[in-house]
A and B are shown apart, each in its own frame.
Chain A
Amino acid sequence: MANANEADRLKQETGLQKLLRRPEIGSFAVMLVIIVALAIASEGKSFNALGLKNNIAIIAQYGIIATGAAVLMIAGEFDLSIGSMIGFAGMSMAMMLKWGLPFGLGEATPFLAFIITLAMTLAVGWLIGTVVVRSGLSSFIVTLGFLFFLRGVTEVSFRLINKSTQISGLPDYKEESWFANIMGGDVFGWFYDLWFMLGGNLNRRGEQWVEGFDARFLWWLVIAGVAYFILSRTQIGNWIYATGDNKEAARANGVPVNRVKIGLFMFTAFCATMFAACQVFDTNTSDAAKGNLMELFAIAIAVVGGTLMTGGFGSVIGVVFGAITVGLVANAVFFIPAIDGAWFRVFLGAILLAAVFANERIRKRITGGI
């Protein structure tokens, strides 16, 4: 049988070789280098009790939106409206908390403010997705439209109702609202308690220094964990990959391509809303400029994590490594005062380009050089 021999032209690989071919391997290596380099350059400060908390805070922020952006990219679409969606969601929540529910329906609790905002952002996500699949236009241009539109709506709403484009000095809802607490409070306190008991995590007076991580750390783990499970283990995951790889083939085999895409535009809107909620309930402030440029960071991290620009391939684990890498470098200036903060963007640009080339090589290897 001619074909039977041909099937075995694919070389059998050892476990180690298979590991080295995993899509996450590049971003994992870069992450390791960054962690070691940063630990040395900051003389350990970036990974002491407070350094770790602050680093994780920004990594989790990036991680939440990059997960959404990556899963959408795997399905073959972009969302440039993520940053503006963050601003819009933050404005919506803060405004309801300060000025009450719309139409004079009374005081807003943190939970109500979040749910109403989420309903709006999911509706916008649905609208974006529907416009993209119905019109057949590039999601790049449709979501670019929403980037301006949502940012504009955010500013206009702020000025009309609040007379100023920022809200600060909201009461600290974390004390009385369980919901505000799980969004903006501390999590994994046991980790720092344990650290304290083991003799570390001390401030200058010898008391326990840091109480816990920001809640967004937990949300990032939850979102990334669920996204990983859905992508790699479920039917919907198979549909997402199939949609991004060859839309027509997926459709011919009965995959509801349009519903997959619309659902994922709603997922990025959800991620942006979670980002905003964690920020609002952590700091008790909001600002029309919040989330600016975040859509580009999200896409950059997705690519650094090994997601293909053309869709059909990518991994949530890789995006986790990408978020850690980019988050650490973004924060590095706080731990190494000697360096100019702008180096962060130089670095990001460089690894982004390197990642694009690496991803393209991976794609060619998988598709046999086509």
Chain B
Amino acid sequence: MAEPYLRVEGLVKRFGPFTALGGVDLEVYPGEVHCLLGDNGAGKSTLIKTLAGVHQPTEGKIYIEGKPVAFRTPRDASDAGIGTVYQDLAVNPLLSVTRNFFMGRELKGLLGTLRMDEMNKIAHDEMLKIGIDFSDPTQAVGTMSGGQRQTLAIARAIHFGAKVLILDEPTSALGQKQQMGVLKTIKRVRARGDIAIIFITHNEIHSRLVGDRFTFLALGKTIGAGTNSEIGDEEMRRLMSGGAEMGDLKQELAAI
């Protein structure tokens, strides 16, 4: 097996007395979709925020290509090739696609002027690569659908050098058709072969459709992990509900 691009070992994050992560291990390989599953409050958000440099781990180590790293800021993480696409996507609805695409990393010419034509072209081409053909990159992001905005944020992260793409519940709050669009986008990014994807989701079906590897979190701990073929449907359901046996749940529900 190839070397994982990103490896997390015994990651612990405490906020005062509260332990959000109690020792999480994770290995992410290029060209794979790694699904991170777990109930609300399982620690998914804390984990990705730690990987994205928003939080600093209390204990444990993060390795990139085998070398230990420490992120002090989100900038450190993105410089190390970790691109995070948050649920709110960090886009500005009133600005054009191009202006959003290059926000904070504009291409400058003389006197700090924007190389607008070049930027329009790059934004258009990068979006096309992962499956959206935009006739007009000067249109406001506000006119785009949720799925398209998701694609914009993903294309932006990849263009600016993401080797690990963290997608924070990209399919939630979308319609059925748009969810499928996002899953296609994930598949296309996976097909490039050089990018590792961490896909956070609540949705069992979605993770089955695109996932290569799964990690299940509950109450800040890894409660299960494996590849798509290793984990059966029953096992998956059990782990997704936080480890409680479905049988127990049935009994509990029946008792009410």
Partner-B contacts on A (CB < 8 A): 1-4, 6-8, 10, 12, 233-239, 241-242, 245-246, 248-250, 252-255, 308, 312-313, 363, 366-368, 370
Give the dominant DSSP class at A's interface: helix
B131 contacts A3, C-beta separation under 8 Å: yes
Contacts of B132 in A (CB 8 A): 3-4, 7
Cβ-defined contact, A7 with B106, below 8 A: no
Q: Which residues of B contact A (CB under 8 A)?
A: 74-75, 78, 86, 88-95, 99, 102-106, 108, 111-114, 116, 131-136, 139-140, 142-145, 147-148, 151, 177-178, 180-181, 184
Total inter-chain residue pairs, C-beta < 8 Å: 118
Residue of A whose beta carbon sits closest to that of B139: A10
15 pairs of residues in contact across A and B, judged by CB atoms under 8 Å: A2-B178, A2-B180, A7-B132, A10-B143, A234-B113, A234-B114, A235-B112, A246-B92, A249-B103, A252-B74, A252-B86, A254-B103, A312-B95, A366-B93, A366-B140
Q: Identify which of A10, A252, A253 contacts B105 (C-beta below 8 A).
A: A253
Whether A250 contacts B92 by the Cβ 8 Å rule is yes
Asked whether, in the complex, the Cβ of B95 is within 8 Å of the Cβ of A241, the reply is yes
Complex Cα spacing A234 to B113, Å: 4
Contact A235 B143, beta carbon cutoff 8 Å: no
Query: Which interface residue of B88, B103, B140, B178 has the most chain A CB atoms within 10 A?
Result: B103
Q: When A242-B103, A250-B104, A254-B105 are in contact, do A234 and B133 touch as well, CB less than 8 Å?
A: no
Known A-B contacts: A6-B147, A7-B132, A252-B74. Give 15 more (CB < 8 A).
A1-B133, A2-B177, A3-B131, A7-B133, A7-B144, A12-B135, A235-B106, A238-B106, A242-B95, A246-B91, A249-B90, A312-B92, A313-B94, A366-B140, A366-B143
B94 contacts A312, CB within 8 Å? yes
Q: Which residues of A are found within 8 Å of B184, using beta-carbon distances?
A: 1, 3
Nearest chain-A residue to B140 (Cβ)? A366
B178: chain A residues at CB < 8 Å are 2-3
The 8 closest A-B pairs by CB, nearest first: A367-B142, A254-B104, A245-B92, A253-B104, A249-B90, A252-B90, A235-B106, A312-B94
Instruction: Contact check, B177 vs A248: say whether CB atoms are below 8 A apart.
Output: no
Establish whether residues A10 and B94, one from each chain, have CB atoms under 8 Å apart when the complex forms. no
Known: A238-B99, A238-B103, A253-B103. A7 touches B94 (CB 8 A): no
- A3 / chain B contacts, CB cutoff of 8 Å: 131-132, 145, 147-148, 151, 178, 181, 184
* Complex-state Cα separation, A370 to B91, whole angstroms: 14
| Residue ID in chain A nearest B141 by CB atoms | A367
Q: Which residues of the other chain, A, contact B108 by a CB distance below 8 angstroms?
A: 234-235
Query: How many Å from the CB of A186 to the closest CB on chain B?
Result: 31
Given contacts A234-B113, A235-B112, contact A245 B143 (CB under 8 A): no
Please pick, from B90, B91, B134, the residue contacting A7 in the complex, using a CB distance under 8 A.
Answer: B134
Residue on B nearest A4 in the bound complex, by CB? B133
> In the complex, are the beta carbons of A7 and B93 less than 8 A apart?
no
Residues of A within 8 A of B142 (CB): 366-368, 370
Complex Cα–Cα for A254 and B78 (A) = 10
